[in-house]
Amino acid sequence: MSKAASTTLAWSFKSDLSQDEMLRRLDERWPSTWSISDSGRHGDYVAGRLTPEAVARIYEDGPGFVVHLRFSSPGGDVRAQLLAAQQRLIVEVLPLVGARDVDTTEPLD
């Protein structure tokens, strides 16, 4: 039996692109809309839906960036859902934004 789950995972990375350039690339190549919003605590971020259960937010952090994977599922195969979201982020999103030196990190929140 599976249970509901909610978590935030994070990765740090470097990119030569600005957030505006990242947004343009993602909008050109992603099936759903991405946007720039303001968190109030951590400044502007680029956000988009990865799966029905997961959203990515890309924040500027010093000389680089941090991407949050915010995952929330009411049930079902939570492990498979989280794995699918992580794969979309790492294999599809990060290359689109020119990410390099990718490493796991603590979420900003």
In which band, very low, low, confident or very high, does the pLDDT at 1 lie, cut at 50, 70 and 90? very low
pLDDT digits (tens, 9 = 90+) for 35-76: 999 877 888 999 999 999 999 999 999 899 999 999 999 888
Per DSSP bridges, beta strands 44-51 and 64-73 are: unpaired
In this structure, which CATH number among 1.20.120, 1.10.3470, 3.30.160, 3.40.50 belongs to the domain 5-104?
A: 3.30.160
Q: List, as one string, the DSSP characters of 12-29.
A: EEE-SS-HHHHHHHHHHH
The residues spanned by each domain of the chain are: 5-104
Report the pLDDT value the prediction gives residue 40, as an integer from 0 to 100: 79
